[in-house]
Amino acid sequence: MSIESAARAAVARPEPRAGLSLRRLLDRSLGLISFVLLVAALEAGLWLFGVPDYVLPRPSQIFLALVRGFAPPILSPSQYYVNIGTTLIEAVASFVLGSAFGTLAGALIVEFRSVRRLALPYIVGLQSVPKVALAPLFVVWFGFGIESKILLGVLLTFFPLLINTAAGFSAVERDRLELMTSLKAKAWTTFWMVKFPSALPFIFAGLEMAAVYSILGAVVGEFVGGNSGLGVLILNRNAAMDIAGSLAALVILAVMGIALQRAVAFARQRVLFWAPSNDALDTRDPE
């Protein structure tokens, strides 16, 4: 360490805030910096080795494909906007419906022994079927429109919610229930005041999974048979050997997935302010 830098360090020490905030800035921009480096390396590498576009296009070409796709004004019947709209509607609809049914079913199964006896064998059976294998049948039964995709998405999101909700209701602290029993609370009162809030952390874990599955359901459904959506766009671009266009659609799907997940995380933070976060992938600053 030079005398000069030692002196600078000594001067800097009385104001740890400046150093800290610089480090924090670095820490926060780490993701962005590494992304930029990665993209630059890819661009240079693919160009240097002369990899053909129809095998793996350069990032700049994917970017250009995105620009071309989004260029037409919003209300024009551009491929992009229609396809994005279709997939988004399918994903959100299956997320909402599948989560609602899954939560309801999970609660009913734990709360009522007769429902459990009646439904559990079917649920276990259905759960062991790979749900995407049903996609071709759904297209036959419900057509090429969004209905078949929404139903596939509902089937995919239903189970994580059912399983997590059931686990949440089973894990309610016994003392909390005994407290309500000592007050001779009605079953319904105990449900709303104690059981449901206690199960919410589990339910949100299920919602986070459902956010991913809902998009998966939409795209797989579109692959199998559809006339609109990002899955259809990917198939079309592939057929035209336009790999850059295909990857551009993938980028949009990724952004859509992240947006849905962030929406769930935001809701979780609002609703579960009282529960410690158990998100191992949480990169926010511990405050």
Partner 1 sequence: MIAAPKPTRVDAQPPGAPAIQVQGLVKTYRSQREGTVRALEEIDFTVADGEFICIVGPSGCGKSTLLKILAGIVPHSVGTVLVRGKAPRDADNRLGLVFQAPVLLPWRTVLQNTLLPAQVLGLDRAASQARAHELLRMVGLEQFAASYPSELSGGMQQRCSITRALLHDPSILLMDEPFGALDAMTRDTMNLELQRIWRESGKTIFLITHSIPEAVFLADRVLVMSPRPGRIIEEIRIDLPRPRDLDTMSEPVFAEAVRHIRRLFGIGAQDRPHVD
Contact between 200 and 191 (Cβ < 8 Å): no
Secondary structure letter of residue 133 according to DSSP: G
Q: Which is nearer to partner 1, 122 or 273 (CB)?
A: 273
Q: Which is nearer to partner 1, 49 or 188 (CB)?
A: 188
- 69 vs 84: CA distance, rounded Å: 11
Query: Which of 173, 238, 254, 282 is the binder for partner 1 (CB under 8 A)?
Result: 173
Query: Which of 127, 170, 181, 269 is the binder for partner 1 (CB under 8 A)?
Result: 181
The reply to whether 180 sits near partner 1 by the rule CB under 8 A is yes
Query: Which of 20, 37, 40, 179 is the binder for partner 1 (CB under 8 A)?
Result: 179
Stretch that binds partner 1, among 9-17, 27-35, 74-82, 172-180 (CB under 8 A): 172-180
236 CB-side CA count, 13 A: 16
- Near partner 1 in 213-252, by CB under 8 A: none
Q: Is the dihedral of CA 192, 193, 197, 198 positive or negative?
A: negative
Task: Tell me the number of residues near partner 1 by CB under 8 A.
Answer: 18
In the complex, the smallest distance separating the C-beta of residue 199 from partner 1, rounded to whole angstroms, is 12
Query: Which of 184, 188, 280, 286 is the binder for partner 1 (CB under 8 A)?
Result: 184
Residues contacting residue 256 through CB under 8 Å, at least 6 positions apart:
84, 87, 88, 91, 215, 230
In the complex, the smallest distance separating the C-beta of residue 177 from partner 1, rounded to whole angstroms, is 9
Q: Which is nearer to partner 1, 24 or 186 (CB)?
A: 186
231: its two tokens: 């899955």
- Near partner 1 in 246-275, by CB under 8 A: 273-275
Written as one string, the DSSP assignment of 138-169 is: HHHHH-SSHHHHHHHHHHHHHHHHHHHHHHHH
Q: Could you tell me which of 191, 214, 196 has the C-alpha nearest to residue 264?
A: 214
Query: Which of 25, 30, 34, 178 is the binder for partner 1 (CB under 8 A)?
Result: 178
The reply to whether 175 sits near partner 1 by the rule CB under 8 A is yes
Q: Could you tell me which of 103, 115, 96, 94 has the C-alpha nearest to residue 167?
A: 103
Residues near partner 1 (CB under 8 A): 173, 175-176, 178-185, 189, 193-194, 197, 273-275
